[in-house]
Amino acid sequence: MNHFRTGLLLAAMTGLFLAVGFMLGGEQGMVMAFGFAVVMNVFSWWFSDSIVLKMHRAQEVGPGEAPELYRMVERIAARAGIPMPRVYIIPSNQPNAFATGRSPAKGVVAITQGLMEMLEPREIEAVMAHEIAHITHRDTLTMTVTATIAGAIGMLANMAMWFGGSRNREHGGGAVAGILIAILAPLAAMLVQMAISRSREYEADRLGAELCGDPRALASALQKLERGARQIDNYAAENNPATAHMFIVNPLHMRSVDNLFSTHPSTKNRVEALLAMPGGGGGEMVSEEVSPWGEVPKRQGGPWG
């Protein structure tokens, strides 16, 4: 049912893309938008993973550069019954992670340097299990295609802002229509992204907790990651907000608009769901990651490999 709903949401986003094309250029604009959407989806299928990795300056590592992390991912992938994903490290101090790749055979997990420094090994393993769950569910292609279409809708909306719609311009309403498209189209795309991402995050939490066998570790990691993401900038994500929904927690600073239209479920709700799982222990998490000064302390010893 979740996959069916995700398919409907992707169809809605594609329809929105066509509608913006129609408002910009009538039937001809819609046809051009449809052709662009087809090309864009094919391009996303083959190249979106490498594009996203380059956006975030991720570097691939092997068993020689990060042996413990590599063995951890290898172990979880074996439990999930998928091929070993490629492992990347992102040179960002913000603790975060994402997965990409068009299929389990082409899976990639990417983890920031900040996450490796801030989390305990069992929490890092839980985060990697969450990302491998996305690969197992084939969420990675859906989320990268969604990011690509959302970015294209934003581009068309900017064009509408400057040029207006040819059909409406004939009636003198081009400027108003352009402004409305520029505001409403990205907003609608954001809402679709939010719906897709939220449903997939809960499923990845569930399977990730089962794969690592420690729901409480994942719950603890989510709390630390959320606080770290609020305190530390992720400039690549801020410059490419259409990729924000790919991360395990929102990499953008939680301002009022981000709270209202966050692509991620509430961390509190995710933690409660994890603690309610068998092995979660129930009760509430103690926020051990918060120091008396409200900062997230780093583990002693720095990065491990």
Annotated catalytic residue within 125, 131, 226, 289:
131
Reference 264, options 205, 187, 216; nearest CA is 205
Single-letter amino acid, residue 102:
R
Contact status, residue 114 vs residue 94, Cβ threshold 8 Å? yes
Using CA atoms, how far apart are residues 128 and 134, in angstroms rounded to an integer?
A: 10
Q: Rg (Cα) of the chain, in Å, rounded?
A: 20
CA–CA separation, 226 and 241 (whole Å): 17
Told to judge if 201 belongs to the known catalytic residues of this protein, a careful annotator would answer no
Are 183 and 154 a contacting pair, CB within 8 Å? no
Please list the active-site residues. 131
